[in-house]
Amino acid sequence: MPITCLLADDEPILRFHLQRQLEELWPELDSIITAANGDEAWDLIQESQPQVVFLDIKMPGASGLEVAHRMQTSGLTENCQVVFLTAYDQHALEAFDREALDYLLKPLDEKRLEKTLDRLRRNLAERQPQLASLQRLEELLNTQNQLAKTAAPRYLKWIKALQGDSIHVLDVEQILAFQAEDKYTTLITSEGNFLIRTSLKQLEQELAPDLFWRIHRSTLVQVSQIARVSRSFTGQLEVQVEGIKKPLAVSRRFADQFKQN
């Protein structure tokens, strides 16, 4: 039976290097197909149904883990051995060890590669599918996604806003206050005002609650930018923000936040 191998890595030199290593160390391979990204790899896998697949984890398009998951859901792993490639991915490596999935670290260690190839040949001879359990990979993908979620900020970090004709990308920490006006919300920064369409209510949910406080029906203010809180001669509670000339009114409903205990 002819053996086909697919090799997916977005870096041409790494791809070529592994291809040469395989040609040298596994001469029985009939053909080696290469792919430069996850989507291309998935197309080629469906087309030529290889028995061995090497997948880089971090690739443009679909990641290596996603490609393997697609293979499993469509039953393509029954007759296929999958080996993951990664340069540095602490979390994935722990998971791989736990799930006994095969992986190779870049730069490649030749002895380690030979070991992997031995195992692949043995499994192929015994016709043992390596990725037997769909559940395992799904769990792995989930933990990866969760890790990405917890590592990345859960709250809004960047806001795309309009100033005149151009779209600016603002760090939320640059924004001194949000003020609702009709359909728009004005973002006040020390470098001028910007406009977005998101409502204050929605912003309040997406922004970190300890970063911005609601002080008025139409005002959210960055807490760390408050210079002082005072009462005007009419008795109105006001917040003075460094960089905004006019003090911002605090409505009675939100005044409790500033009460001294």
Partner 1 sequence: MHSANSITATKPLLKELAQNLFFTSLACLVIAVLMSLLSPLSTLASLKIAFSYGISMTLLLNLFLVWWPSYPVWITAGSGVLLGLLLGTSVMILEIHGSFTRAFTEQPLQVLGNLLIGLIFSFTVCYFFYIHYRTQKLQAEQAEKEKSLALSQLRLLQSQIEPHFLFNTLGNIQGLVDTQPDKAKQMIQALTALLRANLSQVRSDTTSLDQELGLVRAYLEIQQLRMGPRLKWSIQCPESLHSVAIPPLLLQPLVENAIKHGLEPLPEGGEVSLEITTEQNLIQLLVRDSGRGFTDHPTTQGEGLGLSNLRQRLELFYADQAKLTITQPKAGGTQIQLSFPLDIPGAPENAHHLPLG
Query: What DSSP character marks residue 28?
Result: T
Between 13 and 125, name the residue whose CB sits nearer to partner 1: 13
Q: Which of 23, 43, 49, 60 binds partner 1 (CB under 8 A)?
A: 60
Tell me which stretch binds partner 1 (CB under 8 A): 94-102, 128-136, 170-178, 228-236.
Answer: 170-178
**The dihedral sign for the CA sequence 57, 58, 60, 66:** positive
- Per-residue binding string, partner 1, 171-210, x by CB under 8 A, is x-xx---------------xx-------------------
**What minimum distance in Å lies between the beta carbon of 79 and partner 1?**
28
Q: How many CA atoms lie within 13 A of 148 on its CB side?
A: 8
CA 144 to mean position of chain CA atoms: 9
**What minimum distance in Å lies between the beta carbon of 156 and partner 1?**
8
Q: Residue count at the site for partner 1 (CB under 8 A)? A: 39
**The dihedral sign for the CA sequence 215, 216, 217, 219:** negative
CB 238 within 8 A of CB 232: yes
User: Residues 6 or more apart from 244 whose CB is under 8 A from it?
Assistant: 176, 177, 188
Q: Does 43 bind partner 1 (CB under 8 A)?
A: no
As a whole number of angstroms, the distance between CA 134 and CA 251 comes to 56
As a whole number of angstroms, the distance between CA 11 and CA 123 comes to 28
Where do the DSSP E strands lie in 20-128? Answer: 31-35, 52-56, 81-86, 102-105
Between 153 and 209, name the residue whose CB sits nearer to partner 1: 153
Q: Does 168 bind partner 1 (CB under 8 A)?
A: yes
Between 88 and 258, name the residue whose CB sits nearer to partner 1: 88
Contacts with partner 1 in 102-161 (CB under 8 A)? Answer: 105-108, 148, 151-153, 157-158, 160
Give the binding site for partner 1 (CB under 8 A): 10-14, 16-17, 20, 36-37, 39-40, 58, 60-61, 87-89, 105-108, 148, 151-153, 157-158, 160, 166-171, 173-174, 190-191
